[in-house]
């Protein structure tokens, strides 16, 4: 088993976080299950991306799509940090996408799974999607209801 440099770089870039508190979502059972799935997905994406087989990479268009998604995600973080924006803006919708800062990392990991031919990363990104997106939607609702 070897370490995937591409997977490691993508995991490190996507799993960056800003410190600080955000409104907590309501503590309903469904959200507790989603939070567990989110944590399992985060750990799974990190481990599966780092250990993704490097020899199974597909064509460059997948790499370009991964680079675009990661750049979009990191770019938004940079804008929020450098402008001193409120962290609640992380949960602001972009057009028809209600929580893009939750959707983009899930897509980045899913496309990386295709690019690196890594089925375990695909499964982990599915778990991340099932957890991270519902939790982020709940936090977004809390952000909108908090002045």
- How confident is the model over 93-106, as pLDDT tens digits? 989 999 999 999 99
Q: Which one is predicted more confidently, 29 or 16?
A: 29
Calculate the average pLDDT of the chain.
83
pTM: 0.82
Q: How confident is the model at residue 54 (pLDDT cuts 50, 70, 90)?
A: low
Distance CA 91, CA 48 (A): 27
Take residue 38 and report the two structure tokens written for it.
């989110």
Q: Which of 9-23, 93-107, 121-135 has the lowest mean pLDDT?
A: 9-23
Position 117 confidence tier, pLDDT thresholds 50, 70, 90: confident
Show the DSSP H helices in 5-118 as ranges.
Answer: 5-14, 29-50, 60-82, 100-115
Burial 60-78 (b: 16+ CB within 10 A, else e): eebbebbeebbeebeebee
Cβ atoms < 10 Å from Cβ of 140: 22
pLDDT at 143: 81
Residue 9: Cβ-neighbour burial (10 angstroms; 0-12, 13-18, 19+): middle
Q: Is 94 helix (H, G, I), strand (E, B) or coil?
A: strand
């Amino acid at each position: 088993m070897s370490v995937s440099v591409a997977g490691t770089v993508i995991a490190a870039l996507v799993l960056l976080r800003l410190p600080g508190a955000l409104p907590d979502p309501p503590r309903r059972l469904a959200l507790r299950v989603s939070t567990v799935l989110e944590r399992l997905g985060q750990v799974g994406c990190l481990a599966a991306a780092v250990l993704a087989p490097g020899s199974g990479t597909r064509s460059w268009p997948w790499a370009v799509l991964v680079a675009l998604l990661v750049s979009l995600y990191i770019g938004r973080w940079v804008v929020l940090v450098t402008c001193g924006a409120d962290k609640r803006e992380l949960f602001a919708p972009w057009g028809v996408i209600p929580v893009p800062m939750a959707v983009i990392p899930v897509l980045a990991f899913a496309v990386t799974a295709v690019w690196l031919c890594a089925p375990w990363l695909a499964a982990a990104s599915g778990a991340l999607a099932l957890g991270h997106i519902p939790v982020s939607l709940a936090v977004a609702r809390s952000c909108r209801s908090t002045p």
